[in-house]
């Protein structure tokens, strides 16, 4: 499915080139760099702090980029924005927890199970017909998840692996709302603005509650993170980089889906796993077992098959 060029350009007869794959490659590299910086900063800051700073610096960036367009910040699609933000914040927080405790490539791959969960939700909740290829892709994908996690079962990391898997579920639900808003011609800057704004507010209130509730030296209750640590110049570049690379990745990803063929752009999103694998080896020495590498490949293949089957079935349903 190609985004309508007339709707994007406002000029009939003008057809925009399919740049979705290129934009998605840039987005994937930005997300891989964000994951690397989160892993590095996770030695000092909690996952909630990382979510806050990632959202805050992203919010500042999108406010600067939006400029005069902020006069049009009101939207009639606030329900979709609310759902996208809730699922997006949950996915982000769980993803950061997994990033700080699992090898970089493993955490990223688990988060990229979102297309499989999207297909599963579409069948179970939205009444989409369960086509054999989609069912095969779902089974194949979760076989890949078992292959990926099995090397870590002996190291008591199964729980964190499940956290990364749930982040993929929440990401799939957030992605469904992003696609719905794209179909309604909602500008990408407004989608990112609402998400980063709500994420900054929620994580900031949570950290403020931890500061007021937890006395120095005491352990926080299970429903609160540790009180935030003081900022220092050594960690500030990492935090700013997390926010800026996340913002760039979001904008490029949204642009990819608006200017390119959906299935092609979706497949190129998996290049983030490749980039993360290389960065994990270079900066952390994360040499995974052959079974784990094979599991990553199986998950990528399953996601491609699920996306191909669902997107190529839409013209038949429309007819």
Q: In 3D, which of 147, 149, 145, 83 has the Cα closest to residue 114?
A: 145
* Domain assignment present for 67: yes
CB-CB contact of 37 with 237 (8 Å): no
Which of 43-47, 112-116, 152-156 is predicted with the least confidence, judged by mean pLDDT?
152-156
Residue 228 lies in a domain: no
Cα 243 → chain centroid: 13
What is the per-residue pLDDT for 91?
94
Q: Is residue 201 part of a domain?
A: yes
Pairwise CA distance, residues 312 & 259, whole Å = 18
Beta-bridge mates of residue 2 = 261
Tell me the mean pLDDT in the region 219-223.
Answer: 72
pLDDT class of 176 with cuts at 50, 70, 90 = confident
* 189-216: average pLDDT: 88
Cα-Cα end-to-end distance for the chain: 14
Read off the tokens for 34: 């964000």
Residue 3 lies in a domain: no
Tell me which range, 41-55, 157-171, 225-239, is most confidently predicted by mean pLDDT.
Answer: 41-55
Consecutive H or E run containing 124: helix 114-124
11 part of a folded domain: no
Q: Give pLDDT tens digits for 89-137.
A: 999 999 999 999 888 988 999 998 887 887 777 676 656 666 777 778 8
Tell me: pLDDT of 191 over 90: no
Q: Which domain holds residue 47?
A: 18-215+236-314
Confidence of residue 156 (pLDDT cuts 50, 70, 90): low
Domain count, the chain: 1
- DSSP conformation letters of 226-246: PPPPPP-TTTHHHHHHHHHHH
Determine, yes or no, domain membership for 226.
Answer: no
Q: What pTM was estimated for this model as a whole?
A: 0.81
CA dihedral of 290, 114, 239, 161, whole degrees rounded to 10: -50
User: Which of 46-60, 116-130, 131-145 shows the highest mean pLDDT?
Assistant: 46-60
pLDDT at 143 over 70: yes
Give residue-wise pLDDT tens across range 256-280.
877 766 667 777 888 898 899 889 9
What is the distance between the alpha carbons of residues 222 and 226, in angstroms, rounded to a whole number? 10
d(CA 276, CA 282): 10
């Amino acid at each position: 499915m190609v985004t309508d060029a007339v709707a994007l350009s406002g000029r009939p007869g003008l057809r925009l080139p399919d740049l979705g794959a290129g934009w998605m490659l840039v987005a994937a590299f930005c997300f891989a760099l964000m994951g690397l910086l989160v892993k590095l900063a996770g030695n000092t800051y909690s996952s909630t702090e990382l979510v806050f700073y990632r959202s805050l610096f992203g919010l500042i960036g999108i406010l600067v980029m939006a400029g005069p367009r902020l006069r049009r910040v009101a939207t009639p699609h606030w329900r979709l924005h609310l759902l996208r933000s809730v699922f997006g914040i949950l996915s982000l927080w769980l993803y950061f927890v997994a990033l700080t405790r699992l090898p970089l490539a493993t955490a990223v791959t688990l988060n990229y199970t979102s297309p499989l969960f999207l297909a599963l939700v579409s069948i179970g909740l939205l009444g989409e017909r369960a086509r054999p290829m989609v069912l095969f892709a779902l089974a194949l994908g979760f076989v890949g998840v078992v292959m990926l996690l099995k090397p870590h079962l002996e190291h008591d990391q199964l729980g964190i692996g499940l956290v990364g898997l749930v982040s993929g579920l929440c990401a799939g639900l957030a992605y469904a709302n992003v696609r719905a808003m794209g179909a309604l011609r909602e500008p990408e800057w407004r989608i990112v603005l609402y998400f980063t704004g709500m994420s900054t507010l929620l994580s900031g209130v949570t950290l403020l509650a931890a500061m007021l509730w937890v006395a120095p030296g005491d352990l926080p209750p299970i429903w609160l993170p540790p009180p935030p640590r003081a900022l220092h110049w050594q960690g500030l570049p990492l935090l700013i980089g997390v926010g800026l690379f996340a913002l760039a990745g979001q904008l490029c990803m949204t642009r990819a889906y608006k200017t390119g063929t959906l299935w092609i752009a979706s497949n190129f999103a998996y290049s983030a796993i490749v980039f993360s694998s290389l960065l994990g080896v270079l900066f952390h020495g994360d040499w995974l077992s052959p079974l784990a590498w094979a599991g990553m490949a199986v998950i990528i293949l399953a996601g491609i098959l699920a996306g191909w089957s669902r997107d190529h079935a839409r013209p038949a349903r429309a007819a």
